[in-house]
Amino acid sequence: MKADPKADAGLAPAGASKKKLLIIVLASVLVAGGVGGGAAWYFLHGKADKEESAPSKKKHAASKAGPPVFVPVDAFTVNLQPENGEQYLQIAFTLQVSSPEEMDSIKLNMPKVRSRLLLLLSGKKASELNTVEGKQQLAAEIINQVNQPFEDKGPEQDVTDVLFTAFIIQ
């Protein structure tokens, strides 16, 4: 049997329009998926990426996966600034750092760290350290002192926290 040429002519445009419709639908799905994926990425990662690239952040600000790294510091006993007679502070703490490399750097420079902290602690009064706020302020000052470069124009350390393990004022 021969096919009717008029019938073939009627099917061809319908088949072509179905293909065009299929291409348009697939293109629309791909565009919507791309826009949706881009929006999801922006909301999930965009803000964090902006914060990490901010110039005020340290170069070590990208947190690394894995367990925290701690550097124990031997106990200090220092005379405090006199208020009500002679008083002294006995303190022990551990520094939390961002990486094992930071830990090695701090351990290698422990005499500088201890000297800086001895000067800091001996300049305090007991009344400044008795409150929780005073201890939090001291922790911030310790972080600031230890983060200072060990060499002229050297890199800063990345100490993220101070964890007190002993704190006695007498």
- Average pLDDT of adjacent 10-residue blocks, the chain of 170 residues: 53 68 75 66 60 46 68 93 90 94 93 95 92 94 93 88 94
The pLDDT of residue 18: 79
Count CB-CB contacts under 10 A for residue 97: 24
d(CA 96, CA 112) in angstroms, rounded, equals: 17
User: Which distant-in-sequence residues (6+ apart) come within 8 Å of 117 by Cβ?
Assistant: 73, 76, 142, 145, 146
pLDDT of 89-103, one tens digit each? Answer: 999 999 999 999 999
Whole-number pLDDT of residue 57:
42
Number of domains composing the chain: 1
Is residue 144 included in any domain, yes or no? yes
Residue 9 covered by a domain: no
Domain, as residue range, for 160? 69-169
What local confidence, expressed as pLDDT, does residue 58 receive?
Answer: 44
In a domain, 129, yes or no: yes
Q: Which of 162, 93, 91 is nearest to 126 (CA)?
A: 91
19 domain-assigned: no
Residue 143 lies in a domain: yes
Q: What is the pLDDT of residue 61?
A: 43
N-term to C-term CA, the chain: 112
Task: Give the domain CATH number at 81.
Answer: 3.30.479
With a CB cutoff of 8 Å and minimum separation 6, the contacts of 62 are: 52
**Exposed / middle / buried, residue 9 (Cβ in 10 Å: 0-12, 13-18, 19+):** exposed
Query: What pLDDT, on a 0 to 100 scale, did the predictor assign at position 25?
Result: 77
In a domain, 100, yes or no: yes
116 is a domain residue: yes
